[in-house]
Structure 1
Amino acid sequence: MEAEIKQPPHVLLIVDDDEDVHQITRIALRSLKYEGRGVKLLSAHSAGDAIRIMQGENQVSVILLDVVMESNEAGLEACRFIRDRIRNQFVRILLRTGQPGMAPEKKVVEEYGIDGYLSKGELTSTRLTTMVRTALKAYSEITEIESKRRSLESVNESIRDISGSVQWNTFRREA
């Protein structure tokens, strides 16, 4: 009987200036599993904290991001920083807002690379769990594709190296 290799948990980052939101999110997601892996929840209480965490942590799969924190668009600014400055296109960002008028859904999804939009007023534990699970699935698929792309790139580079070093001899046919 082979020993089962324990996979590390999926890392989720909760970004909200309201501690109650952190606590409720932890309760809602405490038993979530995807691909047999649980979740590890990190907390940030401001956009600045989220940016610092994302600069040092490359294993975050999903960010649950509030819009209005230290400013009316702090969450959107953090999102832009993560996508454009850090160039992290893999992490799935689920925007959560208690003030939908501050960040209209269609606009922010298109302009900021948001993967989901959740109104806090309409959010249930089941909906949150479903959205996070869907985001984890997307993250897993995207990172798997990227891993295979890198492998193919490595194979192509090796083939170029080999073919560049091989001397092709031409033989003349003597009549």
Structure 2
Amino acid sequence: MSNTYKLNHPTVLVVDDEDDVHQITKISLRSLTYNGDRVRVVSAYSAEEALSILRAEPHIAVTLLDVVMESDHAGLDACRSIREELKNKFVRILLRTGQPGRAPEEAVVRDYEIDGYLPKAELTSLRLTTMVRTALKAYEELRDLELRRRSLETLHESVRELDSEVVWSGFLK
């Protein structure tokens, strides 16, 4: 087993009810690579569809999530479901909104476990690419930390078992 996690086949999930947003995002990210792999872009047109995709593909690294879709807060509800229902603490959620007044940045960042807030009116192709690349790196680092935590847990358990065997073998002599 390797001691580090390397993100292979990085995937970005675009969640928005506007087809134009999907098309522009795909164009903006079409040449993005990470660790030598081209970034794959997957589309969902509703919060429910996004949750279905994340259930089927839990290793999606980044979600670009619109706030207002089938309801005024569908994206925020999806954030909660991703973290609480799906228990996915690794996917990096970048919230995109065309209506920042409906989801004020400070409150959203504080109350929902998101990793970036991108008002659509201020979003350039360069900024989007930079934010996605940064989120991919954060995802990879979080997965790496989890791998190391599990390795230490396994090592700790092995030492405890070995210690127990030594105590019992000394007791029996």
Distance 1:107 1:94 in 2: 15
How far does residue 168 in structure 1 lie from its aligned partner after superposition? Answer: 4.5
Report what 2:74 is aligned to. 74
TM-score, with structure 2 as normaliser: 0.91
Report what 2:170 is aligned to. 169
One-letter amino acid of the counterpart of residue 169, structure 1? G
One-letter amino acid of the counterpart of residue 129, structure 1? T
TM-score, with structure 1 as normaliser: 0.90
For residue 89 of structure 1, give the secondary structure of its aligned residue in structure 2.
coil
Report what 2:121 is aligned to. 121
For residues 37-95 of structure 1, give each alpha carbon's deviation from its aligned partner in whole angstroms, at most 9, with x where no partner exists.
22111110000001111112111000000000000000000000001111111110000
Moved over 4 A (4+): none
Note the residue ranges of structure 2 that are not aligned, 5 or more in a row: 1-6
CA RMSD of aligned residues (A): 1.7
For residue 9 of structure 1, give the secondary structure of its aligned residue in structure 2.
coil
Distance 2:56 2:162 in 1: 37
> Which of the two has greater helix per residue?
2
Distance 1:169 1:27 in 2: 68
**Structure ID, larger Rg:** 1
1:126-141 equivalence runs, <5 A: 126-141=126-141
The answer to whether 1:35 aligns with 2:30 is no
Note the residue ranges of structure 1 that are not aligned, 5 or more in a row: 1-6, 171-175
Work out the percentage of aligned pairs sharing the same amino acid: 58
For residue 87 of structure 1, give the secondary structure of its aligned residue in structure 2.
coil
Question: May I ask how many residue pairs the two structures share in their alignment?
Answer: 166
The answer to whether 1:22 aligns with 2:19 is no
